[in-house]
Structure 1
Amino acid sequence: MSLTLLPPTMLQAIELLPEKNIPVTLFTRHSIRDVTTKKGLAGYDLQLTLDGCQLAKAWGNFLSKMTQRHIVSCISSPIQRCLDTASLMIEGAKESAGSIVPVEVISQGLLVEPGSLVVDIEKASPFFQEKGALGFINGFISNELPGMKHASIGVCDILQLLYSRHPLYEAELALAVTHDTILAAILAFITKKSYLKECDWPNMMEGVFIWFEGDSFDTCILHWIWRGERGFISVEEIRAYKKSP
């Protein structure tokens, strides 16, 4: 299968990757799933479509070949469409000449809700149902919703998980597969957006490349590539986030 269904931003990102001596992590939304009829909400039961399966495998193959980086570790939301995306990307990478290391997909509760941003599902759920995914995440960013972590704490919890799994050696790539809401929250912080619009929302099989500079998470600089742009932000700056007046 060609990569015609891949968000073009991902091909742009490859051109911006750092030298191979700098390992990177791809933090990505899952591949194409069945359509939901709910208000921006997708149940845990929705599975990848055939196109979604083929796309994940083709993207894994292409990514390994074009970046000449080995996928050496993988974490995923425990929801099946994320696990399948991860497994298929690894399978595709193995078929390329650049992937030689067996990789286990490790399930991580921080990559799904409740778990990463939500601490009390009974309090948070009504607002999710009322506002939809976009409104819910904007409420989270502004620390306006009950049942949620403070925004900077929730974001740092996820980033610290990615830091702990980040590869150590050159020509290595780590993979982390999650959902749109979680990825959107991370992107809002690292790109310094206090409010997300529909156009900011991550598409299926779209992700952000990141890498870390520094000897500890608390003092490190996070570098990112998202939609044709490169940027950086310190963890200290994320932790110091306060709601704008």
Structure 2
Amino acid sequence: MKAAVAVVLFLSLFFRLSFSVYRKHFFVNRFMTWKDAQKYCREYHDDLSTVTKEEAQLLSNNTGIIYEYFWIGLHMSPNNREQWIWSGGEDENINNWDIGEPNLLETEKCGVVRRFNSKLHNALCSRTRPFYCMNVFELILVRQNKTWDEALDYCRQNYTDLASLRSQRIMAEAINNTITSQTAYVWTGLRFMAGHWFWVSGDDLQYKAWSVEGELQCPARNLRCGALDRQNNVWRPNNCEDKLNFLCRKKL
């Protein structure tokens, strides 16, 4: 039932798992048990969300959530009551428990985030709650010289899309990941059209790292594709016909 995707509120939040690998989280405003939520996420995304302390805080700030708790991928190991693990098997520290949590370990074996303080609680797995799913992506440097449109086609044919550097953390990883680039500038998914800059992947543009000329509301007609300036750690508008290396993102 692909139509079920319509109930998902997309939050373009990425976080590092390991070098150049990120999570994107999706809030699902449907009430399900933990097990059913896990099944849903594995069908339509990758899995129930794995979250760091920072992610829990940001996901809790989603104005679309009006309920006190939401499911994430945390659950008790079936083999060890002292061990809590993630649904997707990620090696992510679990260091954000609320005071007195976890408790009632005989019955409360699944993890939620309490929205009001972004802390972890354990809960009955049979309770129904809204939840977060995740997709996992990786940044890929392609050392081929292509125009922006050629780079976009290449990424979409071979990976997922041109990269969105939509947070300071992703920006730092992109800079590290382009050390071996053969060009001083590297194409990203930034494009200017219809009077504004946007990520072609659809991610929001709240975080910005423009060079001074990139702040122009209406760049020159030949400077309407965005590239990463590796030497100055900024974005800059470039001629879309320039031949540059580029960053793709790959859904894992």
TM-score normalized with structure 1 length: 0.24
Greater share of strand residues, 1 or 2? 2
In our comparison, the structure showing a higher alpha carbon Rg is 2
